Structure 1
Amino acid sequence: MTQNDTPIAPQNDTSTPPARGSNGHPEPRGGASAVHPALAEPPRAAADREGRLDTVVFGVAAAVALAFVAWGFLSPSGLGSASGSALTWVEENLGWLFVTLASGFVLFVLWLAASRYGRIPLGGDDEAPEFRTVSWIAMMFSAGMGIGLMFFGVSEPLTHYVSPPPRTVDAETPEAISTAMATTLFHWTLHPWAIYAVVGLAIAYGTFRRGRPQLISAAFAPLFGRRRTEGPAGKLIDVLAIFATLFGSAASLGLGALQIGSGVEILGWAGDVGNGLLVAIIAVLTCAFVASAVSGVAKGIQWLSNVNMVLAAVLAAFVFVVGPTVLILNLVPGAIGAYFSDLAEMAGRTEASGGDPMAEWLRGWTVFYWAWWISWTPFVGLFLARISRGRTIRQFVTGVLLVPSVVSLVWFAVFGGAGIAAQRDGADVAGQSTSEGQLFGVLNTYPLATVMTVLVMLLVAIFFVSGADAASIVMGSLSERGALEPTRRTVIFWGVVMGAVAAIMLLVGGDEALTGLQNLTIIAALPFALVMVGLAVSLAKDLRSDPMVLRRTVAVEAVEQAVVHGIRHHGDDFVLSVKAAPDPAGDGGPDAGSPVRAVERERSNGAAGTAEVGSPVPGERRT
């Protein structure tokens, strides 16, 4: 058989070509105007629609959120007691659910990227990415966990070093360093970003590939049908997504306020930082991020994210150079090895594996983190979808999983290594009164401590603004039937409510403000964890009927059958051509020329399907 660059060549077909529609594709016989599903392009006008306020979703979510705000301001102790009781029940009975789902989502997105679905674009077949890769990574990282990295960068590795997880290693030993880094990476790398990726993929694919509204509920259309997703069940899903976004983002803002307040206290700009100052900090920054949010994604978030990326790199470079450089360099490969070595053990930790000490540790760390990431998924997932148009599923998963994980690895090696080194040298950084003060405790051992403290506060403030900026736009989008650019009044409303909820979560926590943030976050995340399971199932079902998947299926089966037929009847010397398949029914119906039907007929009667097989004609190219 002769090889050449064109494996399937046209034959001299004198039959009348089929009529072609406005998109250039042949119209089916019988006058049908529908484009074959294997050639369909996303209806982009539907994806780019202007939003209209969904009075049911917005009304219910706003009423309950305002009731929560009123309850928190009028009786913070009552809200704290109720949330504590609810949290205890969730952690004791459903902690296993968070642990299982987190690892399951990692396996799911890795399978999507490695499978045949990885080539599918989040948009049209030839659509280019909307944002440059550098800006895409910066926005993704800044909105995803910027404040958390600032808050826990020193605190978490240092805490696991001086107090390792139960039944692991002795405290403050070389082994404790490996365990501390492995545990920190477990909480901050593949697992959280896989959780984000599930929602981001489901929304981006449905919006930019299928032309659906940018709504969590719309992603359930393959599972329940469009009519049901637009009914009460779909509205309930969107309300739950708004609540998860509201509480998850408010918790992040609360962490930012705590760290800024700690910096203000260390610099001597104020006395003991109380709730009054924290609420004032939240109020000022809320005004800032509302102003940024109404400027739009391309102007506000992109500019802030790029600035913050540079400032964070400057801070990390300073600590790397001035701090324990050799220890940091050793931590990077050591942390990677320890992470993969301990991954199975860390993923399998439950209350049953360690009794009451393990149960208490999980509630304060792993279960809280998984619930926190899940509560962030409507916000981060929708935001990732918003900025990822034009990228393939494989590019999306690779970028979302690997890039932030590598950055987190370097970040925790630099700041965690600095904290551990300072602790070993007798600085007792772990003895700081608060977790948020440990970063400042490390910086205080270096030159230019005041300058670096101000830089940290500036970084946290910008992370605060950019993260809340994205969250308020996402909640506005959910309130306006999936609009990509929600109206300013809706964005401003949710921005103000988010700031109020963050203040209340701090008030509920009292002296242990971090506890109040954690409690309400875990409770809010529980219902959305179940929504995420449905999203994963719906996305897998949706991808099976993607036009690119159908084309590949048709091409492989049709060409394979034609080649078998050609070899059987013509030996090694034959040609393939594509032409309309005969209509066995003789009615010229809409399925007469369908390549899917042709393959089915080939299976039944041995015809060549859509590929014509015959002896070569002079002048033709052979295969």
Structure 2
Amino acid sequence: MTQDAPAEPRPDSTAAPCDPRRTRRETERFPSAPNLPGSSLNGVFWTSVTLIVVLLAVAGLWPAQLSAAADAAMNWVTATSGWSLLLIPLGLIGLLLVLACTRIGDIRLGPDGSRPQYPTHAWIAMLLGAVMGIGMITYGVAEPVSHLLDPPHDLAEPGSRDAAVDALRFTFLDWGLHAWAVFATFGLAIGYSTHRLGNKGLVSPILRPLIGRHADGAVGKAVDVLVILSTLFGTTTSLGLGAAQISQGLSRIAGVDLTTTGVQLIVIALVTMLFTASAMSGIGRGIRYLSQATMVIAAALLLFVLLTGPTGWLINLFLRSLGGYAGGFVEISLMLPTDGQDLAWMQGWTYFMMAWWISWGAFVGVFLARISRGRTIRQFVLVVLGVPTLIFSAWFTVFGGSAMFMDLERGTGIGAAAAENVNTAFFGLLDQLPLTPLTSVVAVVLVVLYFVTGADSNTYVLSVISTDGRMDPGRPVMGLWGVLTGATAAVLLYAGGLDALQTAVMLSAAPFIFVILALAISLVLMLRRDPSVAARTGVTSALPEVV
């Protein structure tokens, strides 16, 4: 997750808004804001930068006090409104399926005559790359094997076969339909707004049906600032996880302890230089191909573990867990904590994961919108919800299931080690398989590649949002966001390690959940007024049964 997206070639910023009368060449461009001299550095940019600099100063000068205040705020937020982190994604799943299964599903993300820019196989490969990343390495083993020893909601006996099934069921909950419903909602709303209505590639214009002219005023700018802050904290969590994984891998390869905070800060500094230089260089096409190559490497590693691990056991576990996930979907989607210990577990896993997806929603949504021009709403929803859920479920079954098998049958202690430090889990599994030195190097290379490509894309998206939707933000702006991203990750890591990063994500996602609700309502209002559906039905409201 993480949530690391390959950077697409950056479109020509002179593209005009989407209009059915435009030429084919014009309609293939991603619409963007006009490049007006002096218009790029607006109030959104300066407000966002000021807030981030103030946060960095406070975290650097008073780390203990900030950490205590953040922990208290997180406990209050999750205790009072943690339910929304489960209920709202579940509601989004229902909304998206309704849109896909009604006549609304025939609407294209673009003019009626538009067709997809990319072949279906390439499109699916790119949308998978939108989130496959550092989180898949960090939690691919750690989450299932941790749930084996500490079963969710005490539903099974720790270390039992039933606990192994429940471990994967709740891992699927954290990484499956709920996550992709958030991404699909953002992607669908942004894609419809930009490709079909010709708006800027921002969240604020989508809210016009709900808040009117305020979307272009202070309220809209506040929304865009919130999008930037939420996206930044989601990114910095990935950077912190990546630094920890790289230092852990280097320790295994070199045989020397390199897992200290100092080493991780150095890793963040070095990789920040790489992805900032990449973002400023404008080599988007190279990053795109590099990301696709990274996915091939990840697939090869997955196949290696499947074939050298307990293949038959994994297939059986996958089918049982997937069936349990589907059969008890609504039940586990609404399973809330019953006491303080259960709440702490939720804060460390499900609540954190849902908040992470919410913080990444706008970024992944922008990416999905850019690659999905010409797709129908039905195809977009069914593929974006279904394909990644199955692929991610397979990933966690192969890696997490192999580790659970090792613990259950061979007493390897991978789960116990992961309980102390989640960064040890992935390499702990590789230690139990053939070619450990080679696979450890491959894992470190994967993390570095995801680190660079994902952060490059995030730097670019932050620059676009902070410059009023300009698709060609200046190099100084991208350089500044690269530095701020790396600095925020470093300071939060210094202030409290992984716990501080997780807390920052959950606190930034708390107000952003209201943006998602507003976005979903505005999307429905826009679709009700879509002229193509209204013309076929002969009514002004094209979606009466959805509202």
Normalised TM-score (structure 1): 0.79
Q: Deviations over 1:174-231 (max 9, x none)?
A: 1111111111101111000001111111111101100001111011112222x32111
Q: Post-superposition shift, 1:493?
A: 1.4
2: CA distance between counterparts of 1:540 and 1:170? 44
Report the counterpart of residue 59 of structure 1 in structure 2.
46
| Unmatched segments (≥5 aa) in structure 2 | 1-18, 541-547
Give the conservation status (yes or no) of the 8 Å contact 2:30–2:370. no
1: CA distance between counterparts of 2:258 and 2:69? 29
Q: Deviations over 1:349-402 (max 9, x none)?
A: 113xx2223222212111111111111111111221122222111121122111
Q: Post-superposition shift, 1:270?
A: 4.1
Structure 1 pair 178/308, CA: closer, same or farther in 2 (3 Å)? Answer: same
Give the conservation status (yes or no) of the 8 Å contact 1:386–1:484. no
- Residue 545, structure 1, aligned to residue 529, structure 2: yes
- Residue 306, structure 1, aligned to residue 296, structure 2: no
Give the conservation status (yes or no) of the 8 Å contact 1:182–1:342. no
Q: Compare relative contact order (CA 8 Å, sep 6+) and give the higher one, 1 or 2.
A: 2
Residue 266 of structure 1 aligns to a residue in which SS? helix
Residue 245 of structure 1 aligns to a residue in which SS? helix
- Residue 167, structure 1, aligned to residue 157, structure 2: no
2: CA distance between counterparts of 1:316 and 1:46? 34
Q: Deviations over 1:570-620 (max 9, x none)?
A: xxxxxxxxxxxxxxxxxxxxxxxxxx9xxxxxxxxxxxxxxxxxxxxxxxx
Report the counterpart of residue 376 of structure 2 in structure 1.
392
Superposition pairs of residues 433-582 of structure 1, within 5 angstroms:
433-509=420-496, 513-554=497-538
Letter in 1 for 2:412: A
Residue 374 of structure 1 aligns to a residue in which SS? helix
Pairing partner for 1:153 from 134, 137, 140: 140
Q: Post-superposition shift, 1:483?
A: 2.1
Give the conservation status (yes or no) of the 8 Å contact 1:143–1:463. no
Indicate the structure (1 or 2) with the bigger Cα radius of gyration.
Answer: 1
Report the counterpart of residue 228 of structure 1 in structure 2.
214
Residue 214 of structure 1 aligns to a residue in which SS? coil
Report the counterpart of residue 360 of structure 2 in structure 1.
376
Superposition pairs of residues 234-383 of structure 1, within 5 angstroms:
234-268=220-254, 270-296=256-282, 298-351=284-337, 354-383=338-367
Normalised TM-score (structure 2): 0.90
Q: Post-superposition shift, 1:54?
A: 4.3
Give the conservation status (yes or no) of the 8 Å contact 2:206–2:523. yes
Letter in 1 for 2:374: G
Q: Deviations over 1:25-61 (max 9, x none)?
A: xxxxxxxxxxxxx988899699234444141000000
Structure 1 pair 428/39, CA: closer, same or farther in 2 (3 Å)? Answer: closer
Report the counterpart of residue 412 of structure 1 in structure 2.
396
Superposition pairs of residues 116-135 of structure 1, within 5 angstroms:
116-135=103-122
135-144 or 323-332, which moves further after superposition?
135-144
Give the conservation status (yes or no) of the 8 Å contact 1:154–1:416. yes
1: CA distance between counterparts of 2:255 and 2:365? 38
- Residue 179, structure 1, aligned to residue 166, structure 2: yes
2: CA distance between counterparts of 1:406 and 1:484? 33
Q: Post-superposition shift, 1:137?
A: 2.7
2: CA distance between counterparts of 1:530 and 1:342? 27
Q: Post-superposition shift, 1:87?
A: 1.0
2: CA distance between counterparts of 1:423 and 1:111? 43
- Residue 429, structure 1, aligned to residue 414, structure 2: yes
Q: Post-superposition shift, 1:141?
A: 2.2
Higher helix fraction: Structure 1 or Structure 2?
2
Letter in 1 for 2:371: I
Q: Post-superposition shift, 1:294?
A: 3.3
Give the conservation status (yes or no) of the 8 Å contact 1:289–1:468. yes
Report the counterpart of residue 13 of structure 1 in structure 2.
none
Report the counterpart of residue 92 of structure 1 in structure 2.
79
Q: Post-superposition shift, 1:469?
A: 1.6
Spell out structure 1 runs of 4+ moving beyond 4 A.
Answer: 38-46, 295-298
Give the conservation status (yes or no) of the 8 Å contact 1:379–1:474. yes
2: CA distance between counterparts of 1:239 and 1:126? 35
Letter in 1 for 2:273: C
Residue 143 of structure 1 aligns to a residue in which SS? coil
1: CA distance between counterparts of 2:188 and 2:103? 15
Give the CA RMSD over aligned residues: 2.1
